[in-house]
Amino acid sequence: MRKVKGFTLIELVVAMMIIAILTTFALPHFLEQMRKSKRTDAIVSLSELSQHQETFFSDNNQYTSLAGLRAEQKGFPIKGGTYYSKQPHTTGSQVNENYYTLTTGPSNVKKTFLLIANANGAQTDDEYCVRFTIDQAGNKRSYAKGQLKKSHEEMGEDSCW
């Protein structure tokens, strides 16, 4: 009698079921870790823009907008008048994956500033940190999806910064 080499159909189905079960548990965790790692784009960008605002203030005795800072000349990608967070895999004004859009918030532009990074694209699936802010006093806040309309006092402790 000749030995047949190979896998039976049942062995293949069992192997596929094991892979499917592992994927069911591993994929969501992997995607969440990817979203967490992309939060640093917003944090680094806002911290750097905050430093540029302070430098501008020391030279001009007032704060300014992102356009006034000439953020695009400082390496922040711009596309259609919208500024985006810096990313290690982009060069110059190239905008690939736009994880966060950068704006200035309502403030007395002369003596205060509020810098905002809003999640964009796939990063909006991040349940916990869809918006980051920093102001002239160094107050750092982040907002979860359901907290976007709450005030800073209602937010409590900040876990994303």
Residue 95's pLDDT is 46
Rounded Cα–Cα distance for residues 88 and 14 (Å): 42
pLDDT in tens, 135-161: 999 999 988 887 765 544 444 456 788
pTM for the full model?
A: 0.74
Rounded Cα–Cα distance for residues 35 and 48 (Å): 21
Contact 81/98 with Cβ under 8 angstroms? no
Residue 75's pLDDT is 80
* pLDDT for residue 57 is more than 50: yes
SS3 of the chain: the string is: CCCCCCCCHHHHHHHHHHHHHHHHHHHHHHHHHHHHHHHHHHHHHHHHHHHHHHHHHHHHCCCCCHHHHCHHHHCCCEECCEEECCCCCCCCCCCCCCCEEEEECCCCCCCCCEEEEEECHHHHHCCCCCEEEEECCCCEEEECHHHCCCCHHHHCCCCCC
* pLDDT for residue 15 is more than 50: yes
- Specify the higher pLDDT residue, 18 or 92: 18
